[in-house]
Amino acid sequence: MNARERFLRTMHFEPVDRPYLLPQWVFPDTIRRWYHEGLPADIHFNAYFGFDRYEHVPVNLSPLTTEKEEVLEEDAETKVVRDPLGGVRRMWKYRDLGMPQWLEYPIKGREDWERFKLLLNPDSPCRYPQYWDDLKRTYRDRDYPLGVAAGSFYGWLRNWVGMENLAVLYYDDPDLVREMTDTVTDFVLQVISRVVEEVDLDFATFWEDMAMKTGSLISPHLFRDFMLPNYKRVTAYLREHGIDIFLVDCDGNVDELIPLWLEGGVNGIYPIEVAAGCDILSYRRRYGQDVILIGGIDKRALSKDLAAVKREVMGKVPELVAGGGYVPFVDHAVPPDVSFKNFCYYLELVKGH
C-alpha cells in the first residue's frame, strides 16, 4: 500500500496495512539535541523515521510586498523589527522557541485595510511556480497525497489586526471585518481555482489557531456570523471538484469549535493539544466517523521515562487506529526536552498498530 492509498483509506475510515505516519513537526533545537544523541546528520529526516510522504501544491497565498524587514532597535538578546507588511515586533535574536511581542499591527482601521488588500492580488504571477506545467506532470502518477491550502478566516485577520483589536472590531466595525473575511474568501478561491481544476487533489487545509487553553478566542455566535458562510463557500467549491477531506490546524481547546467546523464542511482537526484540555478519545466517541482526528499525543509525556511514553501511546493509539480516521501525531512540534531515544520508542509503538 503506497502513501496515497494509505492516506485516503485512513481518511475514509477504511482498513490500512499500518497507521499513516504524517511527517512530525519538530523544533530546530530538538533536532540539534538529537544529533548529539544518535540521529545521523547525513540523512533525510522523514525517510529516517519512516514518515509517509505528504505534500501541498506550492501555491502562494501570502500578501505580496516589495518592502523589506527593518531593524528599529536591538539589544544583546532581542531586536525590534518592522516586518514587510508593516507590523512591529520584538523578537528573540538567538532562540528558536518563544513568541514575538507584537508592538504594532499592519492594519489599524479601514484606511490601512484599503492599502493592505492591494497585496492580495490573486493574479500576481508568482502565486504559482514558474514551471507549473512541468510540476503538474509530476503529480499525474504520484503515489502520495497532495493537497492545497484553502485559507484562514480568523487566523490571518488576527495576525494583521491583533487579537484584542479584532475582538473590538467585531462589534465596533462589523462591516469592515465582514469585508476583510469576504475579500480573503474571494482571493483564496480565485488563486486556488487553477490548481483545483488542473490537478487531481486529495485534500485541503485551513489554518486558524483561534483557541486558547480554555476555549475559543471568539464566541460561537461570532464564528457563525463572520466565518461560517466563508467556510461553506470554500468547502462547497472544493467538493464540487471531488475533494472531500478538509483539515483545519488549530491550537488550543477546540471543544466548542468542532461542531462549527463540521457545519462549515470541515471534517478533520489537528493537532489536538492535550495540555489545552482536548480529549481525543472523547471526540471520537462523540463524533464517530463525522470527524478525522490527527494528533492528540501529549508532548509532555514524551519528555518523561519510557513507561510514560508507553502509557500515552497505548492508552490512545490502539483504539483510535482500530476505528479508522485517525493519524497518530504529537500534539504540536516536538520540544527539545524530548530525547531521541524517547521519540524513537514512541514511533516504534505507533508502528506496531
**Tens-digit pLDDT profile for residues 97-151:** 778 999 999 999 999 999 999 999 999 999 999 999 999 999 999 999 999 999 9
Q: Look at residues 86, 88, 89, 153 and name the one whose alpha carbon lies nearest to residue 115.
A: 86
pLDDT at 353: 80
Could you tell me the CA-to-CA distances from 344 to 35, 37, 45, 220, 306 in Å, in that order? 13, 11, 13, 40, 10
Reported as a single tens digit per residue, the pLDDT across 288-342 is 999 999 999 999 999 999 999 999 999 999 999 999 999 999 999 999 999 999 9
Residue 96 vs residue 238, higher pLDDT: 238
Residue ranges per structural domain of the chain: 3-63+120-351, 65-106
pLDDT at 306: 98
How many whole angstroms separate alpha carbon 288 and alpha carbon 267? 11
Provide the 3-class DSSP secondary structure of residue 146. strand
> Are β-strands 101-104 and 146-149 bridged in parallel, bridged antiparallel, or unpaired?
unpaired
Q: Look at residues 145, 140, 99 and name the one whose alpha carbon lies nearest to residue 294.
A: 145
The amino acid at residue 345 is Y
Looking at residues 25-33, what average pLDDT do you find?
Answer: 95
Predicted confidence (pLDDT) at residue 67 exceeds the cutoff of 90? yes
pLDDT at 93: 87
Weakest-pLDDT range from 86-100, 149-163, 244-258:
86-100
Alpha helices in the chain (DSSP H): 3-11, 28-37, 45-49, 110-116, 132-139, 155-161, 163-172, 174-198, 220-226, 228-240, 258-263, 280-287, 299-302, 306-314, 317-323, 340-351
pLDDT at 99: 83
Q: Look at residues 317, 304, 251 and name the one whose alpha carbon lies nearest to residue 278.
A: 251
pLDDT at 94: 83
70-74 β-sheet, strand order: 70-74, 78-82, 88-92, 101-104
Could you tell me the CA-to-CA distances from 88 to 83, 85, 212 in Å, in that order? 6, 9, 23
310-316 CB contacts, 8 Å cutoff, 24+ apart: 310/345, 310/349, 313/346, 313/349, 313/350, 314/349, 316/280, 316/281
How many whole angstroms separate alpha carbon 287 and alpha carbon 267? 10
pLDDT at 95: 78
pLDDT at 86: 94
Could you please report the per-residue DSSP string of 118-131?
GG--TT-GGGS-TT
Look up the pTM and report it: 0.95
Reported as a single tens digit per residue, the pLDDT across 201-222 is 999 999 999 999 999 999 999 9
Q: Look at residues 97, 6, 48, 19 and name the one whose alpha carbon lies nearest to residue 343.
A: 48
pLDDT at 97: 73
pLDDT tier, 252 (very low <50, low <70, confident <90, very high otherwise):
very high
Name, in order, each residue with C-beta under 8 angstroms of 55's C-beta and a sequence gap of 6 or more.
144, 145, 146, 147
Provide the 3-class DSSP secondary structure of residue 62. coil
Query: Which CATH class name applies to 3-63+120-351?
Result: alpha beta
How many whole angstroms separate alpha carbon 260 and alpha carbon 255? 10
**Length of the chain as a residue count:** 353
